[in-house]
Amino acid sequence: MRPLHLGVLLALAWAILAFAFLLLLAKAYGKRRMYSKAAGDPVQGARYAFTKGMAPWAKESVMMNLPSYGAGMVFHAGVFTAFGLLLMALLGLRLPSILLTAARLLTLAGGFGGFSLLLKRCLNTQLRGLSCPDDFISNVLSSAFTLLAFLCTFSPVASGIWMAEAILLLIYAPLGKIRHCLFFFTTRYHLGAFFGRRGTFPPGGSSHA
Amino acid sequence: MPELDELESRLESLTAADFQRGLDVFRGKLKEAEASYLNSCVHCGLCASSCHYYRMDSILENIPAHKLELIASVFKRSFTTMGRLAPGLVGAKPLDKEMARAWVDSIFGRCSLCGRCSVNCTIGIALPRIFRAARAALGAMGLVPSDLQATVDNSLKFGNNMAMTRQDWVETVEWIEEELQMETGDPEAKLPLDKQGAKILFTVNPREPKFFPLSLQASAKVFWAAKEDWTMASDPGWDLTNYGLFNCNDEQAGCITSNLVEAMARLGCQTLVIGECGHGYGAARWEGPEWLQKSYPFEVKSILELMDEYVRDGRIKLDPSKNPVPVTLHDPCNLVRHGGICEAQRRVLRQATMTFTEMTPNREHNFCCGGGGGQLAMARYKNRRIQSGGMKAKQISDSGARIVVAPCHNCIDQLMELNKEYKLNVQIKTVAEMVAEALVPNT
């Protein structure tokens, strides 16, 4: 096995273990026992939170910021595609040409989407005021990883840099805000369960309704 | 302003023990869900436009993510490894005087705990749950604005938040009863007090007997028309308000909730009915059992649900032509978004009015009127409260309605101020007032 491939695997193992540890730490805070009588179904609420509740039209904040939302969606699609390409590279597999074209489009758009958000963070005074170094580092690591994935689909020359970048990204991911790739799911579940129990999610789902 | 000086001098006198106590209380309020929320914010800033404070004053301090970050930075510094090892990298900061000052200004002074940011957050962070934990921590450090705390203290001392004496309350009820009898022409129309074994214990906001007796009279008229078996308590247990929801001292909030629970047991009622009050409903229905750490042995309902049942079951008949003026509905955050009661009031109003128009947005997407979260009790933030209410004023104005129905007495207070400030030229009423007006006399 090539040293960089081994490095990526070790970094991946670190990321998985660290994320598992973070999840355990959060779980160690304990569940809240509820004494009030539910008016709705927490599971239905969570289901809504992960489906219709995530639709752009379900959020005024998204509808008012569609370019940023679009950039974010493309960015995330690109990052996930880049990880798919990384897995293929580690396994020594090649994509069929139609999938390769799609992967190139997604990683290119994702990389630019990520850097456009970084630019926005740098230029917008209020967004800069919200940010700490972690916000910039996380974005740069993810965007560069995505763009390098795109480049590597054309030339294996860049693959060494890409692998090294992947190692950095995987090591850093649990330490900074990239941990939201894990906590997004738990957070959204808790939000959905909270509003589901109270009958607010899904709309019209309350026993009060 | 003495309040300003008092809070500032308290901030200046904070000791290391105070900060530690605040942190301990904060930590004690966090569960798995909150720990998840505090690890999730990506600082995208899209939540900004969901906040009525930001919409009316677009500064960094009003962005929900900024308010959250003030708290998350302390969480990271105090309770996470990365926050301790590399605070500068992840934005971790200690809880010190400056941070405590920023917390007070942010979560007491720039947030009504309305939760609109929660449903608009791209991740799904229920920010008010975190803000409540932080308010509790500030309370443990003696940093609750004194006028907000005074409202809680009134409830603890007098059994109601306006310090009404038992005599004042009972005499007011008797006077309203006479008015009701004159209005209905029925000498048997009653506002029963302490009726043992009544099916319903009805609770009111002390603002009703104190300033809005017609509102209580309207509710009583609806009960009279429905031939309901109901009562109110003369001793503590008649006031539905609980500002413990806002100072976030769960112990004090639980004591206030106990008044209701004890009145239910004392009078042997089956259903606790909460009058038109958003936070009162949220406190009694949702938070009360959590504060007391036990389930109620009785049912809790809003009077809105009850009126909806009366209409549905034909116990009251309504003539919408008696309310011909265009009407719109305000959705109190604690009743609708946090309370789950969305449709009952709408069904009732459609039956009771000729022209019912929705505000945009509405239901769980409603804008806070600006008076929630204890804002009405904190004089030091009055200017911000009135300014942030501008979003609601615009909604009302855009609706074209001449009557705004608000099933919440705190909201009504704020809406009356907005009415004056923004020259809306509308009437503000409760749902019960609209229903009482539309009642068709029993034949």
**Where along chain B do its domains lie?**
2-143, 149-312, 320-438
Nearest-5° angle of CA B434, CA B440, CA B443?
155
CA of B366, closest CA in chain A: separation in Å?
11
Residue B129 pLDDT > 60:
yes
Average pLDDT of span A123-148: 98
Residue A191 pLDDT > 60:
yes
Task: Look at the domain B2-143 and name its fold.
Answer: Fumarate Reductase Iron-sulfur Protein; Chain B, domain 2 (1.10.1060)
pLDDT one-digit tens code per residue, A57-78: 999 999 999 999 999 999 999 9
Residue B81, pLDDT score: 95
A59 interfaces chain B, CB cutoff of 8 Å: yes
Average pLDDT of span B277-298: 98
Residue A209, pLDDT score: 52
CA of A117, closest CA in chain B: separation in Å?
9
Is the Cβ pair B90, A59 closer than 8 Å?
A: no
Residue A187 pLDDT > 70:
yes
Is the Cβ pair A187, B288 closer than 8 Å?
A: no
B90, B126, B338 ranked by CB distance to A134: nearest: B90
B36, B295, B341 ranked by CB distance to A187: nearest: B36
C-beta of residue B364 within 8 angstroms of C-beta of residue A40: no
| CATH code given to domain B320-438 | 3.40.50
Residue B152 pLDDT > 90:
yes
A44 interfaces chain B, CB cutoff of 8 Å: no
Residue B387 pLDDT > 90:
yes
Residue A205, pLDDT score: 56
Residue A206, pLDDT score: 56
Is the Cβ pair B124, A192 closer than 8 Å?
A: yes
Mean pLDDT of chain B: 97
A61 interfaces chain B, CB cutoff of 8 Å: yes
Average pLDDT of span B137-151: 97
pLDDT one-digit tens code per residue, B317-372: 999 999 999 999 999 999 999 999 999 999 999 999 999 999 999 999 999 999 99
Residue A1, pLDDT score: 66
B332 prior amide bond cis, ω within 30:
no
CA gap B175, B188 in Å, rounded: 14
B124, B129, B300 ranked by CB distance to A188: nearest: B124
Does the predicted model carry a pTM greater than 0.90?
Answer: yes
Is the Cβ pair B343, A22 closer than 8 Å?
A: no
C-beta of residue B278 within 8 angstroms of C-beta of residue B407: yes
Residue B12, pLDDT score: 94
A91 interfaces chain B, CB cutoff of 8 Å: no
Average pLDDT of span A6-19: 97
* Set of chain A residues whose Cβ sits within 8 Å of the Cβ of B253: none
pLDDT one-digit tens code per residue, A19-39: 999 999 999 999 999 999 999
Residue A204 pLDDT > 80:
no
DSSP assigned state of B440: P
Is the Cβ pair A130, B43 closer than 8 Å?
A: yes
Residues 137-176 of A with CB under 8 A from B: 137, 175-176
Is the Cβ pair B31, A32 closer than 8 Å?
A: yes
CA gap A102, A196 in Å, rounded: 37
Residue B2 pLDDT > 80:
no
* Set of chain A residues whose Cβ sits within 8 Å of the Cβ of B48: 61, 126
Is the Cβ pair B287, A36 closer than 8 Å?
A: yes
Instruction: Give, in order, the Cα–Cα distances in Å from B263 to each of A166, B204, B245, B257.
Output: 64, 13, 20, 10
Average pLDDT of span A154-166: 92
Phi, psi of B193 (to 5 degrees): -115, 135
Q: Where does residue B366 rank: exposed (0-12), middle (13-18), buried (19+ CB within 10 A)?
A: buried
Which residues, in sequence order, are CB contacts of B423 under 8 Å at separation 6+? none
Is the Cβ pair A30, B31 closer than 8 Å?
A: yes
Average pLDDT of span B120-146: 97
CA gap A22, A24 in Å, rounded: 5
Task: Give the number of other Cβ atoms within 10 Å of residue A136's Cβ.
Answer: 14
Is the Cβ pair A187, B336 closer than 8 Å?
A: no
Which residues, in sequence order, are CB contacts of B340 under 8 Å at separation 6+? A39, A40, A198, A199, A200, A206, A208, A209
A20 interfaces chain B, CB cutoff of 8 Å: no
**Which residue is associated with the tokens 């059992």?**
B289
Residue ranges of alpha helices (H) inside B185-336 are 207-211, 213-225, 244-247, 250-267, 278-281, 288-292, 303-312
